[in-house]
Amino acid sequence: MARFAATALAAVTVAAVAAVATAVPTDGGVDMASTERMVASLRDSVVITLASDCVGACQNRVSAALTARGCTSVEMLPTLRMVNAVCPPVDGASAEDVPAAIPGVLEVGPDELVGGDAWDEEDREGDIVIPIRDQAGKPYFWGLDRVNQRTLPLDNQVGASCYPNQGSGVDVFVVDSGCMPSHPEFQGVSIRTMALPTSPFDVAGIDDRGHGSHVAGTVAGWRTGVAPKARITCIKVLNSEGHGKGSHVSAGFEYAAAFKAANPTSKVIMQASISGSGTHHDAMAKRMNEIGVIGTVSAGNKHTSACKYTPARSEDVITVGNSDLDDSIWRNSNVGRCVDLFAPGHKVLSVDIKGSLVTKTGTSMSAPHVAGLAALIMSQHPQGASLRMKDVLAMLTKNAPMVGQYPMAWVSPSCSGAPPAPAPVPAPTVPAPGPTPPVFPTPVAPGVPPITRPQGMFLGGIPPPGSAGPLQMPPQM
């Protein structure tokens, strides 16, 4: 795919994930999801990429061979042809060396600590002022205002009449810190939360960080969301400090891919505002795209090349940088040839796990705008289930406004500007998945009827049925 070159970088670097202690608590009250515990568990933990044709019996042989060589916690990810395992060194061989000689194994890499791509820094002098209320005192979601018009100034309009389905029939898997489904912004929205049984998190997957809820709110919140009728599944892979293991992220990707493989006519998006460095993400992204899962990921906030990080560097996902209110590149956004487009990400107003709304900044906030836009396109498109990443990217960037040398993600509010349907894409050959994930839509919470919105609108303008009224805004954000 074509990547876009940047002409300038922002001015300040962001510190990497803070160093954490590696001592493991031994008392009975140890928090298995703590960052310290995660770091300790990385020892001898590996992520194995299998050959693309290693399915079925081949995967069974690999699992047996790993066990025979002393590996434990062997977790096969059959759809993406990956394996998570703990392989202690044997006879001087490293953890990576132990599985490398097994037939069917393509690559072995160490597990890693990963983190979400939100920016926790205080405002700086010279930062652009972002309004959080309109002239009537109502919450103002400037990102929604920006992504449906080609030029500035913003017109306070959020209509997208070419996309009246508003994401209906699209499943968006948010691989992040979980979600807070009880938030008023999710009333009337089809949302469920979970954590995979191999992770250290409670299976309910409730957000204790706030990152995943904010992201999901931008995708499909009833007022904050680009595609409020999309179905959201929040998969918790990050802890309360915003850290997680690469192997848990891989398992989250597998869940989304297995859902698509089991439901070939489904329209599936995988949204991950997470950064790591493992090379296995490249193979995972390629295989997800082949199956038909559209990946939207954050470029990162290190003021450097996005190509240094995964999954941002993959050519098989849509990598999103952070644009500001004046269509400039936000000062800490990653850039470079691995960034496909930009979307609003500075002081984006969305869900707070305390029950209100809060602004957050970072490419983590940019990527879910694109996930929502992709849901609008796929929901409306007659061949939405067959679209691949390049198809969706082309639609999002046709006649797009520019952020420096990069296109900005948008959807035209004029049906005459809607891109034509691409040629049909042949159905992919999908390897047989393991245990089939449940087929849903998830029902709306009991007693909460679906929201009826003005056709083609991102923004409702009235409280959802059953809510206590408008959300309370914090005094300062």
- Known catalytic residues are 176, 211, 364
The half-sphere exposure of 260 on its side-chain side, counting CA atoms within 13 A, is 35
- State how far Cα 385 lies from the chain centre: 19
Work out the number of other CB atoms within 10 angstroms of the CB of residue 245.
25
Work out the number of other CB atoms within 10 angstroms of the CB of residue 440.
14
Rounded distance between C-alpha atoms, residue 22 and residue 353, angstroms: 29
Q: Please, what sign has the CA dihedral across residues 54, 60, 63, 67?
A: negative
Rounded distance between C-alpha atoms, residue 192 and residue 185, angstroms: 14
Work out the number of other CB atoms within 10 angstroms of the CB of residue 159.
16
Rounded distance between C-alpha atoms, residue 174 and residue 230, angstroms: 12
Residue with tokens 């995979």: 196
> Are residues 48 and 107 in contact, defined by beta-carbon separation less than 8 angstroms?
yes
> Are residues 46 and 85 in contact, defined by beta-carbon separation less than 8 angstroms?
yes
Rounded distance between C-alpha atoms, residue 242 and residue 30, angstroms: 18
Rounded distance between C-alpha atoms, residue 230 and residue 220, angstroms: 6
- State how far Cα 417 lies from the chain centre: 28
**Identity (one letter) of the amino acid at 288?**
M
Q: Using CB atoms within 10 A of its CB, is residue 136 exposed (0-12), middle (13-18) or buried (19+)?
A: exposed
DSSP 270: E
77 - beta bridge partners? 82
Residue with tokens 């100034």: 153
